A and B are shown apart, each in its own frame.
Chain A
Amino acid sequence: MKKLLLFLLTLTTVAVLVACTANEDAGQEPDDAGAEETEIEQAEDESASGEKILNLNNSVEPTSLDPSIGFDEVSWIPLNNLMEGLTRLDQDSVAAPGVAEDWEISEDGLTYTFHLREDANWSNGDPVVAEDFVYAWKYMLAPETASAAAFLGYFIKGGEAYNNGEGSADDVAVTAIDEKTLEVVLEAPAGFFLDVLTNPAFFPINKKIAEENPNWHAEAESFVANGPFMLESWEHDSEMVFAKNSEYWDVDAVKLDKIHWAMVNDTNTQYQMFETGELDTASIPPELSDDLIDGDNVYIGNYGGLEFFRFNVNEEPFQNKNIRKAFAYAVNRQEIADFVVKTGVEPAYGFVSPGFTTPSGGDFRDENGDLVSFDTEYAKKLLEEGMAEEGYTELPPIVLSYNTSDTNKAVAETMQSMLSENLGIDVTLENQEWNVFSEAQQNLELQFSRSSFINDYSDPVNFLESFITDSYMNRTGWSNAEYDELIEKGKSETDEEKRYEYLYEAERLLAEEMIVMPIRYYNTVVLQADGVEGILRHPVGYFDLKYADKN
């Protein structure tokens, strides 16, 4: 009997403990849940009374809302709507006035003088001043900050030296002339600097707030915004609510009253939430691509990015240009895009993805045309020539590596069969977990490997620059003085028309040498609920809700 009593006692203790934790939670949860429910009720009431709330999904918690630290899409998307840099991408994804009303560029293209808007304010009412930019940019470049975005600041004179520890903050050539005037001196002319400035890494930081509380960006209570929206609440890992920022200079253009962000990382779940109306936009789960892609409510747009394969020029047989080209011409990209990757992606016959506007108003991709095609006869001829040049009677073994994922596997297997069918080459496939793969690729240990590139800013040079000698992004072992020079000119030429000429030429040279072979461009495919409009989706990966509307 005693034993039974003891048993019962333990049971009750456990039960009480559980109840306690439940109560503790209950202490918060009902509060939260209650608040939320009332919020939802309110939301419903308000939407009845005309309040516009957009329900979106950020998939995961933003890495950081510190503009210098959050250097990825999941941070950029919220940041780009909470804040604003000197320039902001407009309807055509071109840099247009943001916090800066106008600017002057010196003759030599080195000195930029920005005039900040008198009515540009922070959400707490403070004016946005030039000093806020100086503070933010030097903070980004400080080695202690360890910002992954710091390389974007190397365009500024003294930026690289400060970041690698050789220079000091005082040598970074960004100065506040007066409260509303900012002067920046560049290391070399860069015709796309205004585009670079639209990247969240260049957003201002409210100096007064940040000096008081270095963690101002970690919670909704302390976050100060200067963009179309402000951070009303933020439940980490769970949801964020943005509200219209009444201090924003262009608040009249903002149509939405609130944005509710869920963080749902499962593609099927977010699609099901879209189906039930809990989300206003969603991505298409790959398995449902065939059924959904042709629907009326599907938005398909450019996304600055390329999937490609790198040849390691230090490994046989890829030291030979013709053999590299033979591989590139033997692959049917259209089939890969249409039947393997799906979701409406476009095959890549060049390197720079569509969506970059040239000075003459055209598209970079159209202007420079197709640089590679699917031509089995030509591929066979190239292979023969290449093998003769190297004296091969038989090709050395080829290993194609990719980082583990279902899509990558499907693409690799398709390429394997195409190379076997069209060139008679047996390719061995090998997959590795992302980090292992990425390190091996960086160390030039892979012979023929998958890669992808996503643009950081809206200029073709961003991608092309990867392949200059000894670049951290090169990862092929390739070095070509002519290419290096073309890229140098393609960055610093002040005449935009000429600058683009250099970039066209650089891209053609890359195709002639075929250091990497393009496969397909990335794209943005979004399901959008009826009545949702005005979301600007930029090819650099983040979208703008400033003009978005929901009816």
Chain B
Amino acid sequence: MLKYIFKRFGIMLVTLWIIITLTFILMINVPGSPFNSDQSSNETIQANLEAHYNLDEPYHIQYLLYLKSIVTFDFGPSIKQPNQSVNDLLGRGFPISFELGMMTIIVAVISGIILGIIASLKHNGFIDYLAMGLAVLGISIPNFILATLLIQQIAVNLEILPTATWSSPAHMILPVTALATGPMAIIARLTRSTMLEVLTQDYIKMAKAKGLSPWKIVFKHALRNALMPVVTIMGTLLAGILTGTFVIEQIFAIPGMGKYFVESINQRDYPVIMGTTVFYSAFLILMLFLVDIAYGILDPRIKFHKKGGE
């Protein structure tokens, strides 16, 4: 197990290095500079700005500077918000995105699994169709549309909840609902289909024959096996949701880190691009790693010391 973790860690570092290098190469090849704007300017000012952010150095020096900033975990100041370091931006935005993401995941997983179980138990019944109908709706309605709808109906028309910003628990209900619906629907459908498969297995029949209560069969015997595919998608889902979603944060004016992924690239804010890329990649790799570990716990057939699992 330990050997496996070390090996994974090594691979993770190499992967990160490749990502960083590719990002750097892409970054210097995209035309434009962070200092393009509608406003008046001149050559001297552009030169001063470039010198200030070391953009006048040859590319290999810039590359080394980037590597150094990553190793020391100090990405320097953002070009577009010069009084803030990239660390400040991420340090401030991530906890908020994480909070929003965590609530979303909890809501999505719990309600998704429950919906899935109910649907599978009442297979082809009214409740099944209702639950799956909801799930299809959840998957097909993009979250930004749902978000706008929720604001219009619940905040503006009914005036039950506040419209936007992130300042009290009441402010969190709408964004979490908007964000959780999609993943919830995916999880519900996955749970339902795997549950249906598992419920026809011999060992479930055996359990029934033994006279175990239906609840015990579902939670103790069926669910554990039915959850494997859900765990598989959790890694990517977690990384995506926990590091912030641009659209939902934009609509609800939530000061998370989602916007930096998009805006830094539009604005050619190089340090922020590097910072967010490294952060997101590291987080994603870590999540995939945790998922692999979770497999081992859920499925005893997977052993880490043997390459390739089973």
Interface residues in chain A, defined as those with a beta carbon under 8 Å from any beta carbon in chain B: 3, 6-7, 10, 18, 21-22, 24-25, 32-33, 36-37, 61, 63-66, 69, 71-72, 143-148, 150-151, 160, 163-164, 215, 217-218, 235-239, 262-266, 268-269, 272-273, 275-276, 278, 433-436, 438-440, 442, 452-454, 456, 462, 466, 471-473
B183 at the interface (CB under 8 A from A): no
Q: Flag if A66 contacts B83 (CB, 8 Å).
A: yes
Of A25, A147, A471, the residue contacting B45 (CB under 8 A) is A147
B200 at the interface (CB under 8 A from A): no
Question: Complex: how many Å from CA A268 to CA B162?
Answer: 15
B279 at the interface (CB under 8 A from A): no
Q: Known: A236-B84, A434-B36, A436-B31. Contact between A151 and B41, CB under 8 A?
A: yes
Q: Flag if B102 contacts A22 (CB, 8 Å).
A: yes
Residues of B within 8 A of A236 (CB): 84, 88, 92, 255
A281 CB, min distance to chain B CBs, angstroms: 15
Question: Complex: how many Å from CA A355 to CA B33?
Answer: 33
Q: Flag if B80 contacts A237 (CB, 8 Å).
A: no
Chain A residue nearest in CB terms to B148: A268
Q: Known: A148-B41, A150-B45, A434-B266. Contact between A266 and B159, CB under 8 A?
A: no
Q: Known: A25-B95, A64-B82, A436-B32. Contact between A273 and B40, CB under 8 A?
A: no
Q: Flag if A10 contacts B165 (CB, 8 Å).
A: no
Of B36, B41, B48, B98, the residue contacting A435 (CB under 8 A) is B36
Q: Flag if A263 contacts B294 (CB, 8 Å).
A: no
Residues of B within 8 A of A453 (CB): 38
Question: Complex: how many Å from CA A145 to CA B51?
Answer: 10
Residues of B within 8 A of A37 (CB): 168
User: 6 closest Cβ contacts across the A-B interface?
Assistant: A435-B32, A146-B52, A237-B255, A264-B253, A438-B36, A218-B83
A351 CB, min distance to chain B CBs, angstroms: 15
Residues of B within 8 A of A440 (CB): 31
Of A64, A435, A452, the residue contacting B33 (CB under 8 A) is A435
Question: Complex: how many Å from CA A24 to CA B95?
Answer: 10
B137 at the interface (CB under 8 A from A): no
Q: Flag if B162 contacts A438 (CB, 8 Å).
A: no
Question: Complex: how many Å from CA A195 to CA B257?
Answer: 39
Q: Flag if A433 contacts B266 (CB, 8 Å).
A: yes
Spot the interface stretch: B67-75, B113-121, B149-157, B202-210. B149-157
Residues of A within 8 A of B81 (CB): 61, 63-64
Question: Complex: how many Å from CA A160 to CA B38?
Answer: 22
Question: Complex: how many Å from CA A435 to CA B32?
Answer: 5
Residues of B within 8 A of A263 (CB): 253, 255
A213 CB, min distance to chain B CBs, angstroms: 12
Residues of B within 8 A of A7 (CB): 297-298
Of A32, A64, A144, A150, the residue contacting B83 (CB under 8 A) is A64
Of B102, B163, B266, the residue contacting A272 (CB under 8 A) is B163
Q: Flag if B48 contacts A215 (CB, 8 Å).
A: no
Of B45, B92, B300, the residue contacting A237 (CB under 8 A) is B92
Q: Flag if A273 contacts B39 (CB, 8 Å).
A: no
Residues of B within 8 A of A262 (CB): 165, 253
Question: Complex: how many Å from CA A236 to CA B268?
Answer: 21
Q: Known: A63-B82, A64-B83. Contact between A148 and B39, CB under 8 A?
A: yes
Residues of B within 8 A of A25 (CB): 95, 99
Q: Flag if A452 contacts B38 (CB, 8 Å).
A: yes
Residues of A within 8 A of B166 (CB): 238
Of A72, A143, A273, A452, the residue contacting B48 (CB under 8 A) is A143
Q: Known: A10-B294, A278-B162. Contact between A18 and B102, CB under 8 A?
A: yes
B42 CB, min distance to chain A CBs, angstroms: 4
Question: Complex: how many Å from CA A394 to CA B152?
Answer: 54
Of B40, B49, B252, the residue contacting A146 (CB under 8 A) is B49
Question: Complex: how many Å from CA A273 to CA B253?
Answer: 11
Question: Complex: how many Å from CA A452 to CA B40?
Answer: 11
Interface residues in chain B, defined as those with a beta carbon under 8 Å from any beta carbon in chain A: 30-33, 35-49, 51-53, 80-84, 88, 92-93, 95, 98-99, 102, 106, 148, 151-152, 155-156, 159, 162-169, 250-253, 255, 259, 266-268, 294, 297-298, 300
Q: Flag if A439 contacts B31 (CB, 8 Å).
A: yes
Q: Flag if B51 contacts A146 (CB, 8 Å).
A: yes
Chain B residue nearest in CB terms to A269: B164
Question: Complex: how many Å from CA A241 to CA B273?
Answer: 30
Q: Flag if B39 contacts A71 (CB, 8 Å).
A: yes
Question: Complex: how many Å from CA A473 to CA B32?
Answer: 16
A287 CB, min distance to chain B CBs, angstroms: 11
Q: Flag if B36 contacts A439 (CB, 8 Å).
A: yes
Of B52, B80, B84, B156, the residue contacting A275 (CB under 8 A) is B156
A sample of 26 inter-chain contacts (CB < 8 A) reads: A7-B297, A7-B298, A18-B106, A21-B95, A25-B95, A63-B82, A64-B82, A66-B82, A146-B48, A146-B52, A148-B35, A150-B45, A151-B40, A236-B84, A236-B88, A262-B253, A263-B253, A264-B253, A266-B253, A269-B251, A273-B164, A435-B36, A436-B30, A439-B36, A452-B38, A466-B40
Chain B residue nearest in CB terms to A73: B39
Q: Flag if A272 contacts B36 (CB, 8 Å).
A: no
Residues of A within 8 A of B36 (CB): 434-435, 438-439, 442
Question: Complex: how many Å from CA A215 to CA B155?
Answer: 39
Question: Complex: how many Å from CA A264 to CA B252?
Answer: 8
Q: Flag if B52 contacts A269 (CB, 8 Å).
A: no
Residues of B within 8 A of A150 (CB): 44-45, 48
A148 CB, min distance to chain B CBs, angstroms: 6
Q: Known: A21-B102, A146-B52, A473-B40. Contact between A439 and B252, CB under 8 A?
A: no
Q: Give 8 A-B pairs besides A147-B45, A266-B251 with Cβ atoms closer than 8 angstroms.
A: A7-B297, A61-B81, A146-B45, A146-B52, A146-B53, A238-B165, A262-B165, A273-B163
B28 CB, min distance to chain A CBs, angstroms: 13
Question: Complex: how many Å from CA A456 to CA B83?
Answer: 23
Question: Complex: how many Å from CA A365 to CA B211?
Answer: 91
B9 CB, min distance to chain A CBs, angstroms: 19
Residues of B within 8 A of A163 (CB): 44-45, 48
Q: Flag if A36 contacts B156 (CB, 8 Å).
A: no
Question: Complex: how many Å from CA A28 to CA B51?
Answer: 39
Q: Flag if B83 contacts A237 (CB, 8 Å).
A: no
A330 CB, min distance to chain B CBs, angstroms: 26
Q: Known: A63-B82, A278-B163. Contact between A439 and B151, CB under 8 A?
A: no
Q: Flag if B151 contacts A272 (CB, 8 Å).
A: yes
B201 CB, min distance to chain A CBs, angstroms: 19
Q: Flag if A435 contacts B268 (CB, 8 Å).
A: yes
Residues of B within 8 A of A33 (CB): 167-169
Residues of A within 8 A of B298 (CB): 7
Residues of A within 8 A of B152 (CB): 272
Q: Flag if B93 contacts A237 (CB, 8 Å).
A: yes
Q: Flag if B255 contacts A238 (CB, 8 Å).
A: yes
Interface centre among B31, B37, B95 (most CB of A within 10 A): B31
Interface centre among A61, A144, A146, A454 (most CB of B within 10 A): A146
Chain B residue nearest in CB terms to A263: B253
Q: Flag if B39 contacts A435 (CB, 8 Å).
A: no
Residues of B within 8 A of A433 (CB): 32, 266
Residues of B within 8 A of A72 (CB): 37, 39
